[in-house]
Amino acid sequence: MPQYVSPGGYIEETEQPHPIQGLPTSTAGFVGPTHSGPLVLPPAPLTGLVEFEQTYGGRQLMQFDDASPTPNFMWHAARAFFENGGTRLYVSRVFSPGAGSNSDGRRPTAADYTGALDPATNRKTALMAFEEVDEISTVAAPGATFGYKDNSPDANSVLNLLIAHATQMRYRVAVLDSGDGQRPDAVQALRANFDSRYAALYYPWVTIHDPSTGASLNQPPSGFVAGIYARTDLTRGVSKSPANEVINLAIGLETILDDAQQNILNPLGINTLRFFPGRGYRVWGARTITSDPEWKYVAVRRYLSYLEHSIDSGAQWVVFEPNGQTLWDNVRRSISDFLLNEWQTGALMGNEPDQAYFVKCDRSTMTQNDIDNGRLIVLIGVAALRPAEFVIFRIGQWTADRKS
């Protein structure tokens, strides 16, 4: 406390509660082969397709060793991402040198997607590179499931890598592609290989006009879906399910599904893309691939990740502060103010704040042993919104002399 020894006026700075800012959730990370570009991440995300082309090459077909040319899935995914509302995209190029002389090498395997520490730059590559970027909230590997029927073990390994990465990073979700040409029974078999609260699976592939040839071309859904995630976050907020949203660029779907087929796929956590007359092509599923009912909705998983990440980042000032009542009050007030704002914007349930959340940080959350060992423990509960997945209208006959 300052010492006052002479009469006069003094100015003191008072400490205000530390506000917690909600972190952005719309940045995506795509990993896969491109024509050119660095094997380590650039310092800033791409903000448009032109930037992608300047760094990673154009839309020309990919030519891997001893294989027929294949679509440039990463270019198409980047285009789909930006056309569907995405604004910030990190790309991690995967390159596997081949025996031939062409500019694309051989088709990467799961081992190539894993990545490593580059001794020349002391930077991580492939999927591991995304560990260095805190702002990424969705990850995908567009094209990794191409040719799934003949390449399922390796494709499944790549999907497992995405799931493991999202689980490790905690605050992101893996957007998984079904295989090309799959029928509903085949995608059910694919789905049976995975169980995670940090991943969502989408089916079927999306048909677009190939801008190079004008012909129809089927593309994996992850680029479109990641863009829709970003669009929904920016226009409605991360608590809104990224579903019942129009798929821009789509002129068709590789498989047209009906209600009976969706009745089988939806309970399994397979998010379908559907066509509805007069409403176009839309994402018509909002589930993760977990068996845990608490985490079955994509929006719940992503919203809780958003809250956890924002509080984690916004409370770093607490470290090494004196662990006493004053600190506990400040922490509780900062988090409560943040959650109050979330409730006021309609992101939490409840007619009153105390129905929407609670924050405890006092002797009921910490023992003396915790305090003696430098642990400050905050208990937070939130009432997250669930999507209105099943809308039911109960209608009965009415006559004028009946009361409601």
Exposure class string for 142-160: b at 16+ Cβ within 10 A, else e: bbbbbbbeebbebbbebbb
Which pLDDT tens digit goes with each residue over 206-244? 999 999 888 999 999 999 999 999 999 999 999 999 999
> What would the mean pLDDT of 384-404 be, rounded to a whole number?
80
Give the three-state DSSP class for 380. Answer: strand
Q: What is the mean pLDDT of residues 305-321?
A: 95
Look at residue 67 in the predicted model and tell me its pLDDT.
83
What is the pTM assigned to this prediction? 0.93
Q: 204: cis peptide before it, omega within 30°? A: yes
Coil, helix or strand at residue 141 = coil
pLDDT above 90 covers what percent of the chain?
85
Question: CATH number of 27-301: 3.30.1490.190, 3.40.50.11780, 3.40.718.10, 1.10.3720.10?
Answer: 3.40.50.11780
Residue that wins the pLDDT comparison between 122 and 87 = 87
pLDDT greater than 90 at residue 165:
yes
Instruction: Identify whether the C-beta of residue 303 lies closer than 8 Å to the C-beta of residue 345.
Output: no
Domain ranges of the chain: 27-301, 315-404
Label residue 3 by pLDDT band (50, 70, 90): confident
pLDDT band at residue 322 under the 50/70/90 scheme: very high
What mean pLDDT value characterizes the chain? 94
Tell me what pLDDT residue 121 has: 83
> What confidence category does residue 160 fall into, taking pLDDT thresholds of 50, 70 and 90?
very high
